[in-house]
């Protein structure tokens, strides 16, 4: 990404977070204007545990190593009890990322293995991951792995603009499985993340295609004083959409 970008502080983003009872940063990058917008660039530069946003590079590596063939590849349920009922079934690859099936992606990570995981993370220039043979199936969920909002946006930019050293097939499948919402005027794609190791962290990262412009975003939040689990889960997406709506990106 061009390093000669502008940074504009949007106090309105901070007010959105305040209204939802959370603290953190909303970061949006306008690729046409080459401008970053955020309420807190210091927060946006601070690396945090990636949690389930790591399912994006994990998916890319799964496709590149042929562990997963396409968005319709079925990941079988082994019959064991899982944290969420929606995970207790056979899931297509697309559905697995949509419902953020942790056991599915832990299985994928184990199949990739430590050596290949490290090699591909270096190849993809996905920073800050602390991977070894012991933590191969949970290093993104707890431990020392960390990535910043700015780094998340940079990675998404390179993914969308075909600047990653991956096949056209992988890029195509990724755009398919990340799509969340499509209207007549825009397409919203992304992935949430939620971590509890070292303090609760909430993520929503992705991009919006609108006309000939793509807006990239990475929202990272932590609980405010009046912590509410359900509202915290909702706040990641609600805050991001409010910010995008305020900029006229989405309806």
Q: Active-site residue numbers?
A: 52
Measured CA to CA, the distance from residue 120 to residue 215 in angstroms comes to 26
132 and 114 in contact (C-beta within 8 Å)? yes
- SS3 for 188? strand
- SS3 for 218? strand
The DSSP bridge partners found for residue 24 are 221
Measured CA to CA, the distance from residue 251 to residue 246 in angstroms comes to 9
Measured CA to CA, the distance from residue 235 to residue 241 in angstroms comes to 10
Sheet order of strands, 22-30 included:
6-9, 35-38, 22-30, 213-223, 201-210, 187-195, 179-182
Measured CA to CA, the distance from residue 55 to residue 71 in angstroms comes to 14
């Amino acid at each position: 990404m061009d390093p000669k970008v502008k940074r504009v502080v949007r106090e309105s983003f901070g007010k959105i977070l305040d209204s939802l009872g959370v603290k953190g940063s909303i970061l949006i990058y306008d690729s046409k204007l080459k401008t970053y917008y955020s309420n807190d660039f210091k927060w946006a530069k601070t690396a945090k545990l990636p949690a389930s946003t790591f399912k994006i590079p994990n998916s890319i590596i799964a496709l590149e190593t042929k562990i997963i063939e396409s968005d319709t590849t079925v990941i079988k349920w082994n019959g064991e009890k899982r944290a969420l009922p929606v995970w207790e079934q056979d899931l297509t690859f697309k559905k697995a990322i949509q419902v953020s099936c942790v056991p599915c992606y832990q299985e994928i990570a184990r199949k990739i293995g430590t050596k290949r995981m490290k090699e591909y993370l270096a190849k993809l220039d996905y920073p800050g991951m602390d991977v070894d043979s012991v933590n191969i199936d949970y290093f993104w969920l707890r431990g020392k792995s960390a990535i910043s909002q700015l780094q998340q946006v940079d990675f998404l930019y390179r993914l969308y603009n075909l600047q990653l050293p991956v096949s056209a097939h992988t890029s195509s499948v990724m755009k398919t499985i990340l799509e969340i919402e499509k209207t007549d005027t825009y397409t919203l794609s992304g992935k949430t993340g939620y971590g509890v190791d070292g303090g609760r962290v909430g993520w929503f990262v992705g991009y919006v295609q609108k006309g000939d412009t793509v807006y990239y975003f990475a929202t990272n939040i932590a609980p405010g004083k009046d912590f509410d689990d359900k509202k915290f889960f909702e706040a990641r997406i609600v805050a991001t959409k409010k910010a995008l709506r305020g900029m006229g990106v989405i309806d």
